[in-house]
Amino acid sequence: RGERARPAVPRREAAGGASSEGVAVHITFFEIREPWERDYLGRALPNGSPAFLAEPLTAATAELAGAADIVSVFIRSRIDAAVLDHLPALRLLTTRSSGYDHIDVAACAARGVAVANVPRYGENTVAEHTFGLILNLSRRIHTAYERTRLGRFSLEGLEGTDLRGKVLGVVGAGSIGLHVIRIARAFGMEVLAHDVRPLPLIAEVLDFRYVPLDELLRESDVVTLHAPLLPETHHLLNRERFAMMKRGALVVNTARGALIDTEALLRALDEGIVAGAGLDVLEGEEALMEEEHLFRTPASELQLRQVLGGHELLRRENVIITPHIAWYSREARTRILETTAETIEAFADGRVVNAVGR
């Protein structure tokens, strides 16, 4: 579990602006499991000696960081008011992810806790994984691999489709989405994009078009999601929107599981509207990853439905599921740690950088 640290990082000005020259900053990292991560952060924060914990931050583990001014978490931690009540000294909460839907930002703000993320670390990393899923689906690579492992070399049912000339619909054209678009154009695909903040000049340079979401769904041969999970994007792909899609389209999600209504996706697969799905994230994936926990504690009906839906997707030959690894390259992980260390150093110097909810 690691020792409770008392790193001597000077904080010349607190987040609220009060001078605190010479006051030690206590830092605790949750969800740090590998020695190289601890070594990297130790070198990047030479004036301190953070505590490293493998567990996610929860109400049960928060006492391990009760004296911490700064806490760093990853996506399995769920930070709400109940967790914050156990962290009276907390002034900065930094997540080592770009998404921050696992943090109650309003509850943090009410307690004077700044929240920071890693806004950019894996646009090429996630984009490359996205195309790995697209190619696996369009050329049936995973099915062919499983068959040949069993000594079956029949071509029946393995006919693929070219990407050249097909239409890719990119929902969320931020830094990751734009990198997906660059790759798609190199494949000779036509690209449609939907984003709440269109960038006409970039669209002209990369040769793609912004369109309304309904048009994108009607026209796209492949739909890939790169939007944040917000109340307005929850179940962005639902039964109504699947019904709009071009029959036989592929769906890829490397963003957040709850962007897709699992039951609606299963129905769309059954009806042949969706020919295949590549999913690096699943709705309720936390419950899927910790199923044994469901046997020890009461589970909600929603959790049970999500687990059952996940298992049904796993059974489908035309569905590829990877365990939330689109971001998971050594280069991207290093960039995450580098940005996190820079955020902590800036805070110790009286500045809040990479803040969210502002």
Beta carbons of 335 and 119 less than 8 angstroms apart: no
Q: Which two tokens stand for residue 84?
A: 């914050």
Q: Which two tokens stand for residue 31?
A: 């969800």
- Active-site position among 324, 333, 342, 345: 324
Question: How would DSSP label each residue in 135-166?
Answer: HHHHTTHHHHHHHHHTT----TT------TTP
Whether 285 is catalytic: yes
How far is CA 237 from its chain centroid? 17
Q: Which of 181, 168, 321, 212 is nearest to 257 (CA)?
A: 321
Count of C-beta atoms within a 10 Å radius of residue 332: 17
Whether 317 is catalytic: no
- Active-site position among 123, 190, 283, 285: 285
Cα separation, 135 vs 106, in Å, equals 40
Cα separation, 5 vs 24, in Å, equals 10
Q: What share of the chain is helix, strand, coil (3-state, %, to 5)?
A: 40, 15, 45
Whether 256 is catalytic: yes
Q: Which two tokens stand for residue 350?
A: 């009286």
- Active-site position among 241, 256, 283, 333: 256
Compute the radius of gyration of the chain from its Cα atoms: 22
Output DSSP code: residue 251.
E
Q: Which two tokens stand for residue 122?
A: 């894996």
Burial of 270 (0-12, 13-18, 19+ CB in 10 A): exposed
HSE on the CB side for 137, CA within 13 Å? 29
Burial of 283 (0-12, 13-18, 19+ CB in 10 A): buried
| Active site (catalytic) residues | 256, 285, 324
